Amino acid sequence: MLKKLIRLVAGLFLFSVGIVMSVNANLGVAPWDVLHTGLTAISDFTLGQVSIGVGILLLIIDYFLDVKIGIGTVLNMVLIGIFIDILMIFNIIPVLENTILGIIMIITSLFIIALGSYLYIGAGLGTGPRDGLMVGLTKKTNRRVGIVRGFIEITALVVGFLLGGKVGFGTVLLAFGIGFVIQITFDFFNFEAEKVEHIYFIN
């Protein structure tokens, strides 16, 4: 269990690094982060605090969608927000103004997010609340997972944009590149996410 927790936390930290890199590339952010930056723009909360708040709401929805919840689900919700704020408060990752460097940073962030996903999902302690929403809605609607994921991300993007979230060329790179990069990363490690047996404490 200790090894699983260490792997989980390491994965969530890398995931957070990837998110902050994508934000600080200054070219637009991923759909969920468009929502998060939009909520940040209309409130006094930090990006990490908003991420946690949205995660709590999604966790409640997941519960009513009969999605199983594990310690990894809760830590995903809490630690990613905390790590994001620490990285941003201490300016560990620079904010870029150069477009070429920004594109390079976004592409790099995709691989770091993918590596983080490999580690935290592979820990087998439950997926994050956003992934849970996708799973829950897929089961409830009997729609293909790709359609459900697309609907969720477009909704987050549109709402976030209307709230003033950061949308740009980077948003396109992140939205369409993340699935491809995750697949490359998982294939490199010969990792099949669907075969991971998760440990849950709330059924």
Q: Is residue 32 part of a domain?
A: yes
Q: Is residue 126 part of a domain?
A: yes
Q: Is residue 164 part of a domain?
A: yes
Name the stretches of the chain with pLDDT < 70. 145-146, 202-203
| pLDDT given at position 202 | 56
Q: Is residue 201 part of a domain?
A: no
Q: Is residue 26 part of a domain?
A: yes
138: CB partners within 8 A, 6+ apart: 144, 145, 148
Coil, helix or strand for 43?
A: coil
Number of structural domains, the chain? 1
| pLDDT given at position 143 | 81
198: CB partners within 8 A, 6+ apart: 68, 70, 72, 124, 125, 126, 127
Q: Is residue 102 part of a domain?
A: yes
Q: Is residue 60 part of a domain?
A: yes
The stretches of 98-144 forming alpha helices (DSSP H) are 99-122, 129-141
Domain that holds residue 154: 2-195
| pLDDT given at position 194 | 74
Q: Is residue 110 part of a domain?
A: yes
Q: Retrieve residue 158's tokens.
A: 């549109």
Residues 98-156 pLDDT 10s: 999 999 999 999 999 999 999 998 999 988 898 888 878 888 888 886 688 788 889 99
3-state helix, strand, coil split of the chain in percent (to 5) is 75, 0, 25
